[in-house]
């Protein structure tokens, strides 16, 4: 059966990634028949109406799904398509309450034009009452107009669809998790929409364990917990987890949303110095937004040169368990961090488990950072969020079973793990930070001249 998915006007490059992921979560067979990022309409093929409802019921980027009754480049073609596709179904809806509406994308119709288009479907033998609020059946004429059709005074749309409403999505929960309503946030808290989308793409679901190694105030574990997973997290700065008290803390955020039963735990650690056992496959998913190191250099627990500061080692042994102890930190390479994320994911993800992390990049091919690779992880998809002068990418991998991992590629990867990255300054260790500021400085200089 063919269906029309209506997407929201946001995050176009994330749409198919989310809908494909939801097909996996809901165990439905999905085929994308037609889609373009330039349009909010997607034609999809599914086995049943029940599968269609399941596909979008927890989607954040979709708005609704409709059984496709017709499609055409003109109204005449649309009517012909409706008759060909659905004439055998007409008697099923003869006595049902119903309504018709019109949805124009990038175009506009006058009230009289809308009424004329809707009256054009009078040949459908619907004898039930017309009910504008919560009818039994809802039909929508969707129009896809050319860009700038209103100022250019274009008279007709490029494409028309008739859809019968099947089910809605969970887009309304974006407001529930809005950071403006959250008791405890920081400047790096991920917004609710993208947190929820990330959790969907990473396949968060009941009975699964999800972990964020850069948890901060808990945006990702909260999103995963909403979809039924148990959320865990850690952060190099324990203060971000503890917050300012019972309510203004990571735990307080879980309590605010009634998700305490889905908080596995949160602890202070970094990705390298972690109490989590490596080579023990426990996580169904890893989701995170690593620090970019723009405001200040990246840090990891440890000492630059332990031989020069043995007293710090002794101090750590004596005070490590003290509540006020602040462990020393050393500079950390941005590229090493990305590599460590993949190594950790390869060591701890279950088969087919996903790791989804955000990575920044400048909007310049000469400064673009290559997508990191790991022989045990298969790249699933890359979604891009563009800003004015830079972008960030959500990169998603799937853990391969050991039988499908090349032993040769794995040996080569292991041999490269111990290579040191030259440099001591924050710019030496972070190519994104270096490119970010150099580009902006060059632009500002050119504007001044």
Name the residue among 191, 319, 184, 329 with its Cα closest to residue 242. 184
The position carrying tokens 């969020």 is 385
CATH code of 44's domain: 3.30.2130.30
Based on the fold, state whether residues 182 and 162 are members of the same structural domain: no
The position carrying tokens 């005074």 is 153
Can you tell me the distance from the alpha carbon of 391 to that of 369, in angstroms, rounded to the nearest whole number? 11
Would you call 7 exposed, middle or buried from its count of C-beta atoms within 10 A (0-12, 13-18, 19+)?
Answer: buried
Q: Is residue 445 part of a domain?
A: no
Can you tell me the distance from the alpha carbon of 290 to that of 233, in angstroms, rounded to the nearest whole number? 13
Total count of residues recorded for the chain:
449
Q: Is residue 312 part of a domain?
A: no
Per-residue pLDDT of the chain (449 residues; tens, 9 = 90+): 999 999 999 999 999 999 999 999 999 999 999 999 999 999 999 999 999 999 999 999 999 999 999 999 999 999 999 999 999 999 999 899 999 999 999 999 999 999 999 999 999 999 999 999 999 999 999 999 999 998 988 989 999 999 999 999 999 999 999 999 999 999 889 999 999 999 999 999 999 999 999 999 999 999 999 999 999 999 998 889 999 988 999 999 999 999 999 999 999 999 888 999 888 999 999 999 998 755 556 778 888 878 888 888 888 878 878 877 788 888 788 888 899 999 999 999 999 999 999 988 876 655 567 899 999 999 999 999 998 778 899 999 999 999 999 999 999 998 877 655 545 555 554 555 565 555 545 554 444 44
Domain tally for the chain? 2
Domain end point (choices 118, 139, 169): 169
Instruction: Calculate the alpha carbon distances from 289 to 43, 214, 257, 363, 433 in Å.
Output: 32, 7, 21, 19, 16
Q: Is residue 164 part of a domain?
A: yes
Domain housing 185: 177-298+333-438
Based on the fold, state whether residues 63 and 201 are members of the same structural domain: no
Can you tell me the distance from the alpha carbon of 126 to that of 94, in angstroms, rounded to the nearest whole number? 4
Based on the fold, state whether residues 7 and 112 are members of the same structural domain: yes
Based on the fold, state whether residues 253 and 143 are members of the same structural domain: no
Can you tell me the distance from the alpha carbon of 147 to that of 144, in angstroms, rounded to the nearest whole number? 9
Based on the fold, state whether residues 113 and 236 are members of the same structural domain: no
Q: Is residue 204 part of a domain?
A: yes
Q: Is residue 321 part of a domain?
A: no
Q: Is residue 434 part of a domain?
A: yes
Based on the fold, state whether residues 119 and 197 are members of the same structural domain: no
pLDDT at 377: 98
pLDDT at 209: 98
Domain end point (choices 145, 169, 193): 169
Based on the fold, state whether residues 274 and 419 are members of the same structural domain: yes
Domain end point (choices 135, 169, 203): 169
Over the chain, what HEC string results?
A: CEEEEEECCCCHHHHHHHHHHHHHHHCCCCEEEECCCCCCEEEEECCCHHHHHHHHCCCCCEEEEEEEEEEECCHHHHHHHHHHHHHHHHHHHCCCCEEEEEEEECCCCCHHHHHHHHHCCCCCCCCCCECCCCCCEEEEEEEECCCCCCCCCCCCCCEEEEEEEEEECCCCHHHHCCHHHCCCCCCCCCCHHHHHHHHHHCCCCCCCEEEECCCCCCHHHHHHHHCCCEEEEEECCHHHHHCCCCCCCHHHHHHHCCCHHHEEEEEECCCCCCCCCCCCCCEEEEEECCCCCCCCCCEEECCCCCCCCHHHHHHHHHHCCCCCCCCCEEECCHHHHHHHHHHHHHHHEEEEEEEEEEEEEECCHHHCCCCCCECCEEEEEEEEEECCCEEEEEEEEEECCHHHCCHHHHHHHHHHCCCCCCCCCHHHHCHHHHHHHHHHHHHHHHHHC
Q: Are 361 and 370 in contact (CB under 8 A)?
A: no
pLDDT at 421: 52
Q: Are 222 and 191 in contact (CB under 8 A)?
A: no
Q: Is residue 322 part of a domain?
A: no
Can you tell me the distance from the alpha carbon of 321 to that of 180, in angstroms, rounded to the nearest whole number? 35
Name the residue among 109, 228, 111 with its Cα closest to residue 160. 109
CATH code of 193's domain: 3.40.50.150
Neighbours of 151 (CB within 10 A): 6
Based on the fold, state whether residues 165 and 292 are members of the same structural domain: no
Based on the fold, state whether residues 78 and 135 are members of the same structural domain: yes
- End-to-end Cα separation, the chain, in angstroms: 61
Based on the fold, state whether residues 120 and 225 are members of the same structural domain: no
The position carrying tokens 């148990």 is 230
Based on the fold, state whether residues 219 and 358 are members of the same structural domain: yes
pLDDT at 302: 82
pLDDT at 449: 42
Name the residue among 413, 276, 268, 420 with its Cα closest to residue 336. 420
Based on the fold, state whether residues 345 and 422 are members of the same structural domain: yes
pLDDT at 448: 46
Q: What is the pTM of this model?
A: 0.89
Q: Is residue 314 part of a domain?
A: no
């Amino acid at each position: 059966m063919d269906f029309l998915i209506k997407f929201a006007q946001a995050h176009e490059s994330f749409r198919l990634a989310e809908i494909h992921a939801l097909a996996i979560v809901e165990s439905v067979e999905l085929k994308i028949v037609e889609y373009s990022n330039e349009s909010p309409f997607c034609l999809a093929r599914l086995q049943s109406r029940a599968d269609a409802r399941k596909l979008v019921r927890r989607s954040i980027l979709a708005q609704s799904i409709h059984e496709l009754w017709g499609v055409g480049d003109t109204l005449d073609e649309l009517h012909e398509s409706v008759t060909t596709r659905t004439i055998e179904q007409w008697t099923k809806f003869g006595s049902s309450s119903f309504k018709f509406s019109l949805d124009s994308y990038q175009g506009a119709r006058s009230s009289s034009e809308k009424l004329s288009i809707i009256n054009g479907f009078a040949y459908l033998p619907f004898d039930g009452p017309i009910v504008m609020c919560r009818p039994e059946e809802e039909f929508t004429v969707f129009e896809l107009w050319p860009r700038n059709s209103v100022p250019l005074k274009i008279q007709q749309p490029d494409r028309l669809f008739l859809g019968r409403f099947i089910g809605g999505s969970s887009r309304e929960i974006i407001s529930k998790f809005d950071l403006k309503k959250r008791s405890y946030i920081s400047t790096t808290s991920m917004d609710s929409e993208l947190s929820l989308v990330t959790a969907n793409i990473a396949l968060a679901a009941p009975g699964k364990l999800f972990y964020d190694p850069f948890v901060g105030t808990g945006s990702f574990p909260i999103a995963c917990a909403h979809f039924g997973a148990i959320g865990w997290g850690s952060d190099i700065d324990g203060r971000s987890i503890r917050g300012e008290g019972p309510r203004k803390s990571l735990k307080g955020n879980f309590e605010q949303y009634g998700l305490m039963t889905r908080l596995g735990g949160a602890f202070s650690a970094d990705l390298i110095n972690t109490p989590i056992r490596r080579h023990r496959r426990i996580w169904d998913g890893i989701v995170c937004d690593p620090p970019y190191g723009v405001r200040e250099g990246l840090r990891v627990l440890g000492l630059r040169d332990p031989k020069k500061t043995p007293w710090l080692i002794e101090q750590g042994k004596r005070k490590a368990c003290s509540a006020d102890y602040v462990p020393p930190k050393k500079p950390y390479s941005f590229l090493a961090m990305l590599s460590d994320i993949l190594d950790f994911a390869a060591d701890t993800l279950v088969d087919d488990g996903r790791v989804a992390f955000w990575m920044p990049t400048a909007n310049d091919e000469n400064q673009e950072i290559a997508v990191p690779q790991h022989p045990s992880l298969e790249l699933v998809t890359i979604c891009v969020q563009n800003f004015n002068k830079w972008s960030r990418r959500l990169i998603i991998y799937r853990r391969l079973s050991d039988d499908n991992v090349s032993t040769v590629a794995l040996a080569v990867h292991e041999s490269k793990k111990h290579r040191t990255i030259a440099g001591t300054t924050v710019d030496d260790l972070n190519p994104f930070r270096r490119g970010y500021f150099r580009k902006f400085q060059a632009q500002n200089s050119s504007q001044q001249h």
